[in-house]
Amino acid sequence: MDSLKNHDIPGRVTVFSGKGNLPAIRIQTETSEAEIYPHGAHVTAFQKKGEPPLLFMSGSSDFLPGKPIRGGVPVIFPWFGGREGHPAHGTARVTPWDLTNSMLLPNGSARLCFHLPCPEPANVEFIVTVGNSLTMEFVVTNTGNADFTFENCLHTYFQVGDIHTIEVAGLKGARYTDSLTTTQHVEEAESIRFTSETDRIYQDTTTTAEIRDPALGRSIFVRKSGSKSTVVWNPWIDKSKRMLDFGDDEWPHMVCVESGNVKENHITLAPGESSTLKVEIDSAPLGGSAG
């Protein structure tokens, strides 16, 4: 905790003891506030002033060493999904990251830089910029002597007013795998609506996704670069009841729209090569466009 406090910026960046007594960092700017846990380099909150939170957090989430946090923005690396004998979605989200720098930018935003201590032949950084929008950059550099292959994903949970009335636009024409049936499809709809458990991996898509939310009167924009995959997920009723770290009645108020490179869109870096997954989250009144 003491080493983290070296990165305090009075009135802007504050280190404190968070849930489960895990170290946490609060960021405050003129236009927004956010919260990050070095455990998993996990952004657990982002809220623009005068608006509801953009990120959803489960009230049943664990905040324990070695366990993932449920909600916010889990960092998925170096694999996506299950792997026998290993943590689901990789080790990055259950590893304490090092906070290496905090700074204020000329536009009033605050930027925090994290480094992942890991056995992979790679240097892994996560850079979070909090301002009028939330920008996250996941940077991997192959420091080894052979090719390095991995998957990455920012598994973002968004807060919505009612899953029954929202729609996710921007994915028409993209090919996807329905993870519930393992079948392949092409998205034909202008926007995705939700009537049951949904778990889709869209491949070879680089477009911005828009979450249109009539109940909260806003659109959330998920702009990305360095990403060829978008995952859309809501657990619905039955799966929510099977998840011990997720409330039985929370599913109507969240949707995951995840940006990354998974399955066939995995990344292979030659020695010395780098890749950057960048995601910007912003919002605007429904029918408008964010800045």
Convert the pLDDT of each residue in 221-233 to its tens digit: 999 999 999 999 9
- Beta-carbon contacts of residue 130 (< 8 Å; ≥ 6 apart): 27, 29, 32, 33, 34, 46, 109, 110, 111, 112
CB 285 within 8 A of CB 217: yes
What six digits make up the tokens of 181?
């049936």
Give the pLDDT band (50/70/90) at residue 291.
low
90/206 Cα distance (integer angstroms):
23
Look up 258 and say whether it is catalytic. yes
Domain boundaries, the chain: 2-160+205-285
Span 59-68, average pLDDT: 96
Mean of pLDDT over the chain: 96
Taking the CA atoms of 117, 119, 122 and 128 in sequence, report the sign of the dihedral they define: negative
157/54 Cα distance (integer angstroms):
9
CB 231 within 8 A of CB 200: yes
Tell me: pLDDT of 83 over 80: no
Give pLDDT, residue 3: 78
Span 1-19, average pLDDT: 88
Tell me: pLDDT of 270 over 70: yes
CATH T-level topology, domain 2-160+205-285: Beta-galactosidase; Chain A, domain 5 (2.70.98)
Look up 155 and say whether it is catalytic. yes
Tell me: pLDDT of 191 over 70: yes
Give pLDDT, residue 1: 67
Please pick, among 39, 155, 187, 280, the residue that the annotation labels catalytic.
Answer: 155
Taking the CA atoms of 281, 62, 199 and 164 in sequence, report the sign of the dihedral they define: negative
Short-list 142, 107, 101, CA closest to 124: 142
Give pLDDT, residue 281: 98
Tell me: pLDDT of 92 over 90: yes
Extract long-range pairs of 48-56: CB within 8 Å, 24+ residues apart: 48/132, 48/283, 51/218, 51/283, 52/159, 52/216, 53/159, 54/134, 54/158, 54/159, 54/220, 54/281, 54/283, 55/156, 55/157, 55/158, 55/159, 56/157, 56/158, 56/159, 56/160, 56/250, 56/253, 56/254
Give the pLDDT band (50/70/90) at residue 118.
confident
